[in-house]
Structure 1
Amino acid sequence: MSMLAHLLSRFVKNGRLTVLHHDGGRESFGSGTGGPDVTVKLHDAKVQRELFFNPELASAEAYMDGRLTIENGGKVLDLLTLFSVNRTGLGSHPVQQALRKVWRALKRRHQANKVGQAAANVSSHYDHPRAFYELWLDETMSYSCAYFERPDVSLRDAQVAKMRHIAAKLRLEPGMTVAEIGSGWGGLATYLAAVCDVHVTAINVSPDQLAASKDRVEKAGIADRVTFFEKDYRELTGRFDRVVSVGMMEHVGVSHFDDYFSTVKRLLNDGGYAMIHAIGRMSPPGTTAPFIRKYIFPGGYVPALSEVFASTERTGLWVDDCEVLRLHYYWTIKAWRENFEAVRDQVVAMQGERFARMWEFYLAAVELGFLHGSNMVYQLLLSDTRDAVPVQRDFITAAEAALKPRETRLPWSST
């Protein structure tokens, strides 16, 4: 039995994986029940060795390069679903256990996001042409977990509901000042300025996103209420009534959590508080998957809540509220993947076949991480004092109801 066959025989228990080798050989693994039936073809002998030693990274790279293809009309989602429903078996193999020990030992090095390096890491993912993201994101250009009141809500409505939910938690009054750490394409800043009549100071380290954001608020006629800066979060100064950060903490790195929360604390006015929205895991501390770390989010890390709360303890912040969103990101990424599939030919024309395959693999992998894995999204309300946030949560629902009629002010057609 080959090394790869030995690994797959221990790994694939649910569903079936049929492997067509480059020399004409054929092997099947799995029970045929409890998972998809997938056939892959390996186009050279080297792929077999690479898959044995690092299957998570090698399968992605081989798929990107066309050295591993999915046969019989199957999609990469089918292959990754098979991986997902058999994940426990992969982790129990001695070679994979040894790999994980190495990754854990290098965890802090992989996440050493100093000021300049943090900007370079963000640029590697977000500074693709804006037109690429416009192909498959909704018209709000939101690239973070939406908030689904029902699974069948449209992606646009779910993203607006996320902004409403955040704004309600912030309990904003006209004229307040808000610092936004990690502003994306400016969707949330636009919502807060247009709907809540507040002044937003937003920072980002992606020049392309900043340029698009500035254009958006100018077209919306709210440029006097939103100011964008190209800054690392550690470089932001001033004091604000509220601080908000969506989809940013995943890029900080566990060794910089204290810097991040200390910055949040330093930016708050007396009596102010912050709202943090980020991806986390319900499992113990771990590492970033090698494919995601190398190709998608270098320097990124999805923390365990124990790591997050340990840092808020060290920095002296009250965790006034914690909400865990479980399936919401699964529904979000499923919509993105389906949108991406619908425009795949346009992506290839714009970015090339290998890039399209990389993003197919990425979107399918993270979708399944929120369906079968330990990933979720959490929202924290943080303050320096115990009474900055109302002590009962019903204020959130009441504020959402008040905000919704005012959303006619939103200029999404200006994206």
Structure 2
Amino acid sequence: MSGGAVDSAAFRQALGHHPTGVALISSTDADGEPVGMIVGTFTSVSLDPPLVGFLPARDSASFAAIRKSGRFTVNILAHDQEDICRALSRPADQRFEGLAWSPSGNGAPVLPDVVCSIDCSLEACTPAGDHYFVTGSVESLEIHRPVAPLLFFQGGFGGFVPGAFIAPSDAIVAEGVQTVQHIRDGMQRLAHAANGEVTVYAKVADHAVAVATVAGPDVPTSTILGSKWPLTPPFGEVFLIGAPEAEVEQWMNRARSAGEELLRTSRERLDHARKHGWAGSYAGDTRDTLLFPALTEYGVDGVTPAKQREIQAMFRAAGEDLRPVDLEPERQYQGASLVVPIRDRHGRCELMLRLCRIPPVSGSRIEVLADELCRLTREAERSVGGSPDPRILVSSP
């Protein structure tokens, strides 16, 4: 097939299956005002001499200003900076409004908390179709925060955790990804309808690993693909669906040292889920200010015994926030987080679907969203020959 015969939409979709890093190319104009553009094409070019490159559109006014300045700084965005990325995608005259930055060695803006920054002088600008291939000579660089970078993949933002998909988890994760393909459109619709985030987790040993996530149009993605949550009470009861009582006891034993109150909360959550068919956790000071932020970072840089102890202590402190509640139809609930199991053909739960980050909603609205979440899991179960059961939706922190 000749190049002219390739449909542009198909080209974009196919190349979207290759994840790219997200970077801000920044500089200042003749008046000293900040200019910049978000790119997904930044790459290293040469080690000797040190050269980097990116590919801006030929009609980009922002790049025209950068080119005129003759210098630029590359800001590699971190996995938790999607909101900053979206702000920097605004019209050029609003791009830096409300954003903090400091001048780099060459005077270009450097954002706080980026992974690293690279100061460059513009080396060459070569036409390449409807883009330029720009190379820059590296003058200095600095690592500011060695964390997972922000990635763009299949039209959405996410992150990456090294080593998350190594054997023996490969087969489990691959099956999870295959299942997700059957419900991804449904996940997207639900995320938009709820104005929240929908994530699929796979059970890998004693952790839940995020294998796919989508978010509503104005919701920054908080889940890093490959990130892990520990299957420690009171979290992880969803994966006990269809399990023998001995396995439930084994799960409970992981929190014996945390005290009877946490064990009681864990059992109540599991019993409530089995009785009512669905449940959830809602806003709480400890849950929202300590536990959830810690879980977001847990496993990103590797799981250590110290981190596991820290999370268990937070579970214990947030125990009251995690108790199941009976929803009142007219009352407004904040921070609802709902989880459903996706059962395989053996009736076991190896995947779970989570809806979170939704705005304050009424109890009756939560019921509707839970029904939609259940419907989506039944669709997933049919795709794998699973055994749906309307009375097995359970909660997660």
Give the structure-1-normalised TM-score: 0.25
Question: Between Structure 1 and Structure 2, which shows a larger proportion of helix residues?
Answer: 1
Greater relative CO (CA pairs within 8 A, separation 6+): 1
Larger Rg over CA atoms = 2
TM-score normalised to structure 2 length: 0.26
Greater strand share, structure number: 2
